[in-house]
Structure 1
Amino acid sequence: MAAFYAGFPETVPIRTINRQCSSGLQAVADVAASIKAGFYNIGIGAGLESMTVDQIGGVRQVNPRVESCAEARDCLLPMGITSENVAEHYGVTRQEQDQAAVVSHKRAAAATASGKFKDEIIPVITKIVDPKTGEEKPVTIFVDDGIRPNTNMTDLAKLKPAFKKDGTTTAGNSSQVSDGAGAVLLMKRSLAMQKGLPILGVFRSFCAVGVGPAVNGIGPVFAIPAAVKSAGLELDDIDLFEINEAFASQFVYCCKKLELDPEKVNVNGGAMALGHPLGATGSYNCLSYRKLTTCLKITYRRTTFVVSSKTPPTFMHVAC
């Protein structure tokens, strides 16, 4: 339905994949692999999510046999609890998490103000309803509305833990409930040159790994080095890293464990500021696509090696 609504004819084949928060990157990787295999010459990897429509709390049924397997049972843990597990198991403090949130918002605000996202965002025309009068009025959304430029340590320290009474994960150091969509166009280099299209980047490698579902956010620690090695590079060769900020706890831990230069990571902010529309976050920096488009725009301005990673629920993680 979405393809038809977007104007694609019935002759264009489509398919839907599900790797939860990694779906966006997986779609791009699938298109890249198919082009490399010669199945087709051009394709679009896209993702979208409307979390305001499909909200948490829906009724779900789980096979009772899941309870007999500890690892399977851990896959049902709320993501906020897995964030607390990471913070507790790997010693990530509340102060470190809040500081990461401050940096994310500051960088996203600066990138927005300087117009760095202008070419990534397609304005959306919609309507808003005045809660007091009930009056509808049309609006055009052309910037991310979750960015809080004035975010500071003092205000964040006042927030109560969101998932555990004595926890450290709060609404301020977590990603936001967001709507978003993104897409990446891929094709053979020869076809791009034939059509006179600018080449923004080259898809070099992709890797998916698994980790314990109770601490699922640590996946980038394993996925990033594997993807980098597959590309014939070392971590020191990478100019920019995009690591999804599902929660500050896992983001901080991954950066520390990989010993990454903070000035190379999420240079235009991350999901704590821009939002995390799950299936879209790669393209949206909340989308598995926003991350890629952000990387591609930076890459186009200069020769750069970029790594993007995603941390979905359960235990699968990807990087490219």
Structure 2
Amino acid sequence: MTDRLKSVLTHLNPIASPRDKLLQKNPDDVVITLAIRTPLCKYKTGALKDTTLDGITLRILQAVRAKMNLDPALVDDICLGNVRDGQAAYYCRAAALAAGFPNTTAAHSSSRFCSSGLTATAHIANEVSSGLIDIGVAIGAEMLSEGNDRLARPFVEEILANQEAADCMLTMGQTSENVAKQFNVSREEQDRYAVESYRRAETAKKAGWFNDELVPITVKKDGQDVTITEDEVRYGTTYEKVAKLKPAFAEDGRSTAGNSSQITDGAAAVVLMKRSKALELGQPILGKYVGAAIAGLPPRIMGIGPTLAIPKLLSRYGLDLHKDVDIVEINEAFASMAVYCRDTLQLDWNKMNPRGGAIALGHPFGMTGVRQIVTGLSEAKRTQKKVLVTSMCLGTGMGMAAIFINEQ
């Protein structure tokens, strides 16, 4: 076969790239038809300080029911991602009934540390894909103002005898210091990263970029009804201010209140179904869920999880992080891990957390995995980008990542 004939045949039968294949639309695709979140409010002082997990779950489900333009009886299952409350499954079921979903709608919870919301999304997506359900709702919620203990007691002696197992008891702040020291992430790098996160979040809020993500909710604060409509974001953060803060976790440490994720409360939700079902019901299609990956690593440096989970995920689909991915949402648990992940993955910082991240916006653990989807799809719509990757590090040494395609 001549080179000219090969060229003609290639033109007539172009081989789709891995990215192009993901952009194709098929009836069995799992799609997102609604993506919303509550405002993010400051721990112990913000508008959600008196709201409980069952209360916020009720309100986000009320918003889902009001906005999804579906008979709630069509929803087969709801999954609540939450980290710190062992009663989350009870709350999800009861809140669904109180929000107007019938008793035929099932409910459960998922808990995998900071990926709990993303894990809930993957659970519902897999149920849809397998045919177990037709329509489902994934929620992520965390009310850190409730102050549940992280660990009620130490592990048993047999577990503590294994160093890596014992490292699962390290606080997240300690693991941040481990990452900073082991990988030489300086205090200045962390502070400058944090200031940029604050700047981006301030810019996004003032420009109204978050508006299509948010649903207003009314809650009780100090005994009075309060309607919250926007995130509680600190304006005017400068490097000089952040650089003055004392280390939070060790006397000679590099992580501070200014370069660590804000402690906040909030909830987010997505509705998922197959594309064929969405078209049958006349539902708007915001984006497509492609798939997720989980990776494990030493607990003492848990923050580097995205550097393992993202390549693992992209390799499954033949994607190149730099050429094929448009937006990357990586949870900023601490600036130490965010800087390390950005630099190790050689990410274009303009693609990473373009509206700021958890340092400025906050990190309600169970909410984060869904909040990143909601924010990422909104940003993709605004900028007309296509391929979104979300990722986060997880307590006890793990990372998770997922791919979504914007169709707005």
Equivalence map 1:1-320=2 (5 Å)? 1-56=94-149, 59-129=152-222, 136-145=223-232, 147-236=233-322, 237-281=324-368, 288-301=369-382, 302-320=384-402
- For 2:137 and 2:226, the matched residues in 1 are separated by 29
Deviations 1:160-202 (A, max 9, x none): 0000000000000001111111111111001111222221111
Any conservation in 2 of the 1:201–1:299 contact (CA below 8 Å)? no
Q: Aligned AA for 1:217? A: G
For the 8 Å contact 2:327–2:380, the answer to whether it is kept is: no
- Stretches of structure 2 lacking an aligned partner (at least 5 in a row): 1-93, 403-408
CA contact (8 A) 1:200 1:299 kept: no
SS at match of 1:181: strand
What is the percent sequence identity of the aligned residues? 45
Could you tell me how far apart the structure 2 residues matched to 1:128 and 1:204 are? 40
Deviation at 1:207, TM superposition (A): 0.3
Instruction: Return the offset for 1:232.
Output: 2.7
Contact 1:48 1:182 (C-alpha < 8 Å) held by counterparts: yes
* C-alpha RMSD over aligned residues: 1.5
How far apart are residue 41 of structure 1 and its match? 1.8
**Counterpart AA for 1:39:** L
State how far apart, in whole Å, the 2-side matches of 1:179 and 1:89 are: 31
Q: Give the Å deviation of 1:55.
A: 4.2
Q: Are the structure 2 counterparts of residues 277 and 16 from structure 1 closer, same or farther at C-alpha, using a change threshold of 3 Å?
A: same
Give me the whole-angstrom Cα distance separating, in 2, the residues matched to 1:116 and 1:57: 34
Answer whether contact 1:205 1:231 (CA < 8 A) is retained. no
- 1:132 corresponds to: none
What letter matches 1:208 in structure 2?
I
1:225 and 1:56 mapped to 2: Cα distance?
Answer: 34
Q: Is the 8 A contact 2:140 2:268 kept in 1?
A: yes
Which of the two has greater strand per residue?
2
TM-score, structure 1 as length reference? 0.92
Please say if residues 244 and 271 of structure 1, whose CA atoms lie closer than 8 Å, have aligned partners that are also in contact.
yes
Contact 1:211 1:219 in 2 (8 A): yes
Question: Equivalents in 2 of 1:3, 1:128: separation in Å?
Answer: 23
TM-fit CA distance, 1:138: 3.2
Which amino acid in the other structure matches residue 180 of structure 1?
G
Q: Could you say which structure has the larger radius of gyration?
A: 2
Deviation of the 1:211 alpha carbon: 0.7
> Match of 1:238, SS?
coil
Contact 2:263/2:364, CA 8 A, preserved across alignment: yes
Tell me how far apart the structure 2 counterparts of residues 280 and 24 of structure 1 sit (CA, whole Å).
Answer: 6
The answer to whether the Cα contact below 8 Å between 2:296 and 2:305 also exists between their aligned partners in 1 is yes
Q: What is the TM-score of this pair, normalised by structure 2? A: 0.73
Question: What amino acid sits opposite 1:298 in the alignment?
Answer: E
Aligned length: 307
Quick one: structure 1 residues 258 and 114, their matched pair in 2 at CA, closer, same or farther if it must change by over 3 Å? same
Once the two structures are superposed, residues 289-313 of structure 1 have per-residue CA deviations (whole angstroms, 9 ceiling, x without a partner) of 1100111223334241110002121
CA–CA distance in structure 2, aligned partners of residues 55 and 110 of structure 1: 33
Instruction: Tell me the amino acid that sits aligned with residue 262 of structure 1.
Output: W
Equivalent residue of 2:107, what SS? coil
Query: What is aligned with 1:284?
Result: none
Q: Is the 2:380–2:386 contact (alpha carbons within 8 Å) kept by the matching residues of 1? A: yes
